[in-house]
C-alpha cells in the first residue's frame, strides 16, 4: 500500500504538544475544582519534562549528528526543533500566566496562600530565618566558581541557584559567581504554622527562603543576584542488548548516568540577569532556544503535593469508591466465578481488587501449580509482586517476564526482579530488541485430575494506583482457546522456537499489524459491496503510516470511521476526497484515557470488538510484544461498546475535535444537553452498587 504523502500527516512532536495544550485547558477551566486545576498545571510540567528528556533530546541528537532524515510529515530535525521550540515556549508562558494570574489568586480567596518574600511580615520573616538556620543551612554546600572550583555537575531536573557576588572572601578570592545546589531531600514547598501564616494554609517556596538568606552562605561578600535554575537532560538509556551478557547488571550500571546526560533545556527565573543566563547556557552547551525564563518555581511538579496537604473537599473532585462486579460481591471463590463465564472489569469505575485477588488466591491455592505474569509498570509496594513472591516460596512454578526497559520504572523493576529471583521464581527479561508491553497473567490449576488455565488480559499495567487514575479494561477468563494462546505467548517469550499460529490472539510483532490492516480492508470491501461498514477505534496514539494509508483508503471507499485518540494523531481528518469520512476526537478529563478498543462492523458476521495493550504506532506493531484479544461474550461485547466507545463519541464537555490542519477545538454543547462520558460512567457504577 502506498504510504501517505507528507502533507497528509501531522508531525509527531507537535501533536504531543497539542495534547499538552488540551491538558492545560483543564487548568484553564473555571468549572474545574480549584485544587484540581493546580494538579493539571503540575501534570503539564511532568509531561513536558518527559517530552524534553526523550523527544527533544532525540531531535538534538539528530541535529548534532547532522542528520538530514525527514520526519513522515517532511520536516528536517532542525525544522522540527524550531517548531517545537516555538510551541513549547508559548505553552510554558501560558502555564505560568495561569498559575500567577488565576490559580494562586483564586486559592488565596479560599485561605490557601503562597507567601512571597516581598510580602512577609516580621513574624513570618523571623520564622523563615529560624527555618533556614535549622533545616537548610546545615545541608547546603555553596560552590564558588574559580580555577580550583569548576562548574559543578548538575543533576537532571535538580533545583540549583546561580549567585552573582562582589567583594573578596577570607582567602582573597573574588570569582564573582557561585552555585548552590538544593539537595533533593529538601521539600520544595514548606507549610508555615497557621498562627504565623495568618491563614489556615500558608505555604512558602524553598526558593524564596534561599533567596532571602543566600547571603549568609557567603560571609563578607555582597550578593548582587540570586537566580534559581534547573537543567533537563537526555534521559534515554543506551543499552546494546545484543552485546551485553547480563541485561539487568548492564542497566543497573547505566541508570546513574541518566542524571548526567546531555543538557536539552535550561529553566531560569525570569529575573535572571542576561549575563548569568548566557553563562549558564554556555556551561550546558545550549543555544538560546533552549532557555525558558519563568515567573515562579522552575519545577511546578513539586506543587503536586499541595492538594494532598489541604483538607478542602469542595476544591477537589468528589471522591468515589470503585464498584465491584455483582458476581464477585458474594465473596465466592474467584476461580469458581470465572468458570461460570468471563468477567469484564472497567477501571477505574470498577475496582482493581479482583485482579489482585486473582493472583493472591492463586498464590495461596494448593491446587494451583503455576503462575506466569508480565510486568511492565508496577508499584514499589505492589501486592501483586508480593503475592508472586509468596507463591514461589510455597513451591509453585512462578515465571515473571519483567520489562527492565520500561522508561523511568527501571529501578523499580530491577528491584522486583532481584527479589523474585531470590525466592526461586523464574525471571526473564523478554526478547532482545522487543519490549514486553503485553498485559497478561496466567494461572494453571489442577482440577479433577486435569490442568485448567485461567488468565487475565488487560489494556493497562499491573499497577493498583494507576488503576484508579487511568481508564482501562481487563478480562478474567478460562476460555480454552484464549488461555491456550496466552500460554503459547509465554512459551515464546521464555523459550526459543518459531512463532506458532494463535487461534484468538493478535500478537505483535507477528500478526497484529496484518490483522488490523485486513480488518480495515474488510470494512472497505463491505461498503463497496453495499453492506454496512464502520470502524471505531480508541487508543492513545495513531502514527503508523501503513495503517493511516489503509484508513484513508477505507474513507475513500465510504467507510464511516470514528477515532478516539487521546494523544498524538498523525492522520488528518476531514480532507475532501481523502479523509472526509473520518472523525477524530480526543477526550481529556479527570481520568487518563488509556484503554485501546478496536471495533469493526464486520457485516459478513458478528461485530468484532478487540481490546489491546497496543496503540497504532510503529513501535507497538514491530518492536514490542503486544496482544490484542477479542471480547467473545455478547453481553460483555455490548458493555465495551456502551461504556468504552459510545459515551466518548457523545461527550460534548471534555471532548476535542481534531481539524484537518492538526489543531483541535473543544466540542461545543451550546445546543445539546451537556454530556461528560467520565462523569456519566461514575454515576452509572454508583447506581449499580
Catalytic sites, residue numbers: 437
C-alpha cell at 594: 488509556
**CA gap 326, 336 in Å, rounded:** 14
CA distance 93 to 91: 5
Residue with grid cell 470502524, as numbered in its chain: 535
Tell me how far CA of residue 565 lies from CA of 19, 193, 475, 533, in angstroms.
10, 46, 22, 20
Q: How far is CA 16 from CA 190, 211, 297, 495, 639, in A?
A: 33, 35, 24, 37, 31
Could you give the C-alpha distances from 205 to 110, 208, 296, 306, in angstroms and in order?
Answer: 19, 5, 9, 11
Q: For 246, which DSSP code?
A: -
Count of C-beta atoms within a 10 Å radius of residue 525:
16
Pairing of strands 177-181, 506-508: unpaired
Helix axes 12-28, 34-50, angle to 10 degrees: 160
DSSP string for residues in 629-668? EE--SHHHHHHHIIIIIHHHHH--SSEEEEPTTS-EEEPP
- Number of Cβ within 10 Å of residue 435's Cβ equals 19
Residue 428: is it exposed, middle or buried by C-beta count within 10 angstroms (0-12/13-18/19+)?
middle
| Distance of alpha carbon 631 from alpha carbon 352, whole angstroms | 19
Quote the cell numbers at residue 187.
521539600
The number of angstroms, rounded, from the C-alpha of 440 to the middle of its chain's C-alpha atoms is 20
- 325 touches 639 (CB < 8 A): no
Backbone region of residue 453 per phi and psi (left: phi > 0; alpha: psi in -120 to 50; beta: other values):
beta
Task: Identify the H or E element spanning 484.
Answer: helix 480-494
Joined together, the cell numbers standing for residue 90 give 508559548
Instruction: In whole angstroms, give the CA distance from residue 440 to residue 442.
Output: 7
> What 3-state class would DSSP assign to 554?
helix
Q: What does the DSSP assignment read for 496-511? A: -SPPPPPSS-EEETTT
Tell me which DSSP letter residue 182 carries.
P
The single residue listed with the C-alpha cell 489541604 is: 310
Amino acid at each position: 500500500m502506498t504510504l501517505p504523502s507528507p502533507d497528509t500527516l501531522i508531525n509527531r512532536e507537535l501533536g504531543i504538544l497539542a495534547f499538552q495544550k488540551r491538558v492545560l485547558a483543564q487548568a484553564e477551566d473555571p468549572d474545574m475544582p480549584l485544587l484540581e486545576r493546580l494538579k493539571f498545571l503540575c501534570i503539564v510540567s511532568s509531561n513536558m519534562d518527559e517530552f524534553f528528556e526523550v523527544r527533544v533530546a532525540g531531535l538534538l541528537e539528530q541535529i548534532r549528528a547532522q542528520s538530514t532524515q525527514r520526519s513522515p510529515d517532511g520536516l528536517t530535525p532542525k525544522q522540527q526543533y524550531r517548531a517545537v521550540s516555538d510551541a513549547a515556549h508559548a505553552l510554558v508562558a501560558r502555564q505560568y500566566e495561569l498559575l500567577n494570574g488565576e490559580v494562586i489568586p483564586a486559592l488565596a480567596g479560599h485561605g490557601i496562600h503562597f507567601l512571597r518574600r516581598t510580602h512577609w511580615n516580621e513574624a513570618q520573616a523571623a520564622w523563615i530565618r529560624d527555618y533556614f538556620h535549622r533545616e537548610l543551612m546545615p545541608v547546603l554546600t555553596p560552590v564558588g566558581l574559580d580555577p580550583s572550583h569548576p562548574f559543578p555537575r548538575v543533576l537532571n531536573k535538580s533545583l540549583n541557584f546561580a549567585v552573582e557576588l562582589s567583594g573578596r572572601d577570607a582567602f582573597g578570592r573574588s570569582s564573582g559567581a557561585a552555585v548552590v545546589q538544593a539537595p533533593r531531600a529538601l521539600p520544595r514547598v514548606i507549610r508555615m504554622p497557621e498562627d504565623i501564616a495568618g491563614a489556615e494554609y500558608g505555604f512558602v517556596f524553598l526558593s524564596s527562603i534561599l533567596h532571602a538568606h543566600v547571603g549568609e552562605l557567603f560571609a563578607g561578600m555582597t550578593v548582587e543576584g540570586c537566580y534559581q535554575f534547573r537543567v533537563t537532560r537526555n534521559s534515554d538509556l543506551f543499552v546494546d542488548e545484543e552485546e551485553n551478557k547480563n541485561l539487568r547488571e548492564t542497566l543497573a550500571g547505566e541508570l546513574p548516568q541518566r542524571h548526567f546526560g546531555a543538557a536539552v533545556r535550561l529553566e531560569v527565573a525570569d529575573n535572571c540577569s542576561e549575563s548569568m543566563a548566557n553563562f549558564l547556557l554556555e556551561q550546558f552547551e545550549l543555544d538560546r532556544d533552549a532557555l525558558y525564563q519563568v515567573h515562579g518555581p522552575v519545577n511546578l511538579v513539586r506543587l503536586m503535593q499541595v492538594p494532598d496537604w489541604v483538607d478542602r473537599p469542595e476544591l477537589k473532585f468528589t471522591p468515589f469508591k470503585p464498584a465491584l462486579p455483582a458476581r464477585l460481591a458474594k465473596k465466592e471463590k474467584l476461580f469458581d466465578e470465572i468458570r461460570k463465564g468471563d468477567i469484564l472489569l472497567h477501571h477505574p469505575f470498577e475496582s482493581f481488587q479482583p485482579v489482585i485477588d486473582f493472583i493472591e488466591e492463586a498464590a495461596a491455592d494448593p491446587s494451583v501449580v503455576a503462575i506466569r505474569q508480565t510486568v511492565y509498570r508496577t508499584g514499589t509496594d505492589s501486592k501483586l509482586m508480593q503475592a508472586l513472591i509468596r507463591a514461589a516460596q510455597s513451591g509453585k512454578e512462578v515465571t515473571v517476564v519483567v520489562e527492565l526497559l520500561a522508561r523511568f520504572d527501571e529501578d523499580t523493576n530491577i528491584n522486583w526482579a532481584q527479589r523474585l529471583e531470590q525466592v526461586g521464581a523464574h525471571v526473564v527479561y523478554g526478547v532482545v530488541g522487543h519490549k514486553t508491553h503485553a498485559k497478561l497473567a496466567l494461572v494453571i490449576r489442577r482440577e479433577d485430575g486435569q490442568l485448567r488455565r485461567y488468565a487475565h488480559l488487560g489494556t493497562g499495567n499491573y499497577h493498583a494506583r494507576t488503576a484508579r487514575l487511568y481508564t482501562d479494561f481487563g478480562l478474567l477468563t478460562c476460555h480454552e482457546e484464549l488461555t491456550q494462546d496466552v500460554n503459547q505467548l509465554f512459551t515464546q517469550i521464555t523459550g526459543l522456537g518459531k512463532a506458532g499460529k494463535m487461534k484468538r490472539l493478535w500478537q505483535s510483532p507477528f500478526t497484529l499489524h496484518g490483522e488490523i490492516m485486513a480488518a480495515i480492508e474488510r470494512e472497505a470491501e463491505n461498503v463497496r459491496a453495499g453492506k454496512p461498514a464502520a470502524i471505531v477505534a480508541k487508543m492513545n496514539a495513531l502514527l503508523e503510516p501503513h495503517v493511516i494509508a489503509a484508513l484513508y483508503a477505507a474513507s475513500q471507499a465510504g467507510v464511516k470511521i470514528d477515532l478516539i485518540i487521546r494523544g498524538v494523531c498523525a492522520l488528518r481528518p476531514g480532507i475532501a476526497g481523502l479523509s472526509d469520512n473520518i472523525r477524530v476526537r480526543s477526550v481529556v478529563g479527570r481520568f487518563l484515557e488509556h484503554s485501546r478498543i478496536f471495533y469493526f462492523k464486520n457485516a459478513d458476521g458478528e461485530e468484532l470488538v478487540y481490546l489491546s495493550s497496543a496503540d497504532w504506532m510503529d513501535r507497538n506493531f514491530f518492536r514490542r510484544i503486544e496482544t490484542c484479544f477479542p471480547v467473545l461474550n455478547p453481553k460483555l461485547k455490548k458493555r465495551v461498546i456502551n461504556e468504552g466507545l459510545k459515551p466518548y463519541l457523545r461527550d460534548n464537555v471534555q471532548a476535542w475535535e481534531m481539524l484537518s490542519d492538526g489543531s483541535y477545538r473543544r466540542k461545543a454543547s451550546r445546543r445539546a444537553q451537556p454530556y461528560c462520558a467520565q462523569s456519566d460512567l461514575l454515576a452509572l457504577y454508583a447506581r449499580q452498587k
